[in-house]
Amino acid sequence: MARSKVHPIHRFEDWQVWPGSYKNPPADGNFPFPENPPLQITKETPIASMGSCFAREIRKVLLKEGYNYITEEAHHPASVHASAAWERIYNTFSIVQIFRYTFEDWAPEMRWWRSPKSDQIQDPFRRILLYDTIEAAEADFKQHKIHSRRALERANVLIITLGLTEIWEDREDGSVICLPSGPYPNEGGDMSRYQFRVSRYTENLANLEDIHRIMERHNPDCRLLITVSPVHLWATFRNDADVISASCNSKSTLRAAADEFAAQHDNVVYFPAFEMATIYTAIMGESYFTEGKENFHVNKKTVKFIMDHFFKMYA
């Protein structure tokens, strides 16, 4: 009886085969990637970034290493996470809303929250930005849109870090708040108009396509570099899944959407920060989690590993 060969006869490159398998070189601290990556940057390349907590880590390293990182609204507390005062933005719905209010007419019905006890004015869409009056909030947002446009129009490379798929959606107009936090919900503000749900692959991909459409119109020379944040969910609002499963679902959904998005556009590049942290670090027998109360975050050693490879791949 003849038996077929288990493995195909094919010439694989080292980076196409699992590290350490059969005769392939083991993991040695150099993440395998193809030659001639589809993006090149220099220290003069204008780079902007936005997204989840990991976007803040990228920002810190690019500034420290002397790259031409775009910093608008440097005086603003919400700008420490990104290139403008976008605050932390975890889902693709909140990200695409930035592009819509920057370049289009985006006007949600519930624009501001007034906290029931402290009477503070809160921006629902930029997490915990607080103001004394509606007038002050409106004035700050008007200036913010100017800075936001500058950052997005100046960028030759825009890094977008995708975080999670859980959203809080306005039942009336479909707008999405990033997270129900701050004085308004904590002081008993009415949250009945918002529904929690888990967003799915098709709508996250549609949001990424919407971002691409807007950038093609306003900054067609900009390259989009997409990552999935290796920072896991601290907690889940789901009552049908544990936090680890919910986090895995978020990352898997966004990874699949990012893969399809990059495959459809020549000016979109996927950077495997998530894979470097969660898989390659484990292959080397190390933990990528930080210690202490925020042990769902990525430790400094892993951030350095990821950013060292960012420069090795693209710079």
Q: Where are the domains of the chain?
A: 38-108+136-178+197-314
Look at residue 303 and tell me whether its pLDDT is greater than 90. Answer: yes
What's the pLDDT tens digit per position in 91-137?
Answer: 999 999 999 999 999 999 999 999 999 999 999 999 889 999 999 99
What's the pLDDT tens digit per position in 222-255?
Answer: 999 999 999 999 999 999 999 999 999 999 999 9
The pTM score is: 0.93
pLDDT score recorded for residue 96:
97
Look at residue 4 and tell me whether its pLDDT is greater than 70. Answer: no
pLDDT score recorded for residue 37:
83
Architecture of the domain made up of 38-108+136-178+197-314: 3-Layer(aba) Sandwich (3.40)
Look at residue 174 and tell me whether its pLDDT is greater than 70. Answer: yes
Provide the pLDDT confidence category of residue 11 given band limits of 50, 70 and 90.
confident
pLDDT score recorded for residue 133:
97
pLDDT score recorded for residue 7:
66
Express as a percent the part of the chain with pLDDT over 70: 97
What is the chain's mean pLDDT, rounded?
A: 93
Provide the pLDDT confidence category of residue 69 given band limits of 50, 70 and 90.
very high
Among 152-166, 191-205, 289-303, whose mean pLDDT is lowest?
Answer: 289-303
Provide the pLDDT confidence category of residue 213 given band limits of 50, 70 and 90.
very high
Provide the pLDDT confidence category of residue 19 given band limits of 50, 70 and 90.
very high
What's the pLDDT tens digit per position in 70-99?
Answer: 999 988 988 888 999 999 999 999 999 999
Provide the pLDDT confidence category of residue 150 given band limits of 50, 70 and 90.
very high
User: SS3 letters for 216-253?
Assistant: HHHCCCCEEEEEECCCCCCCCCCCCCCHHHHHHHHHHH
Provide the pLDDT confidence category of residue 25 given band limits of 50, 70 and 90.
confident
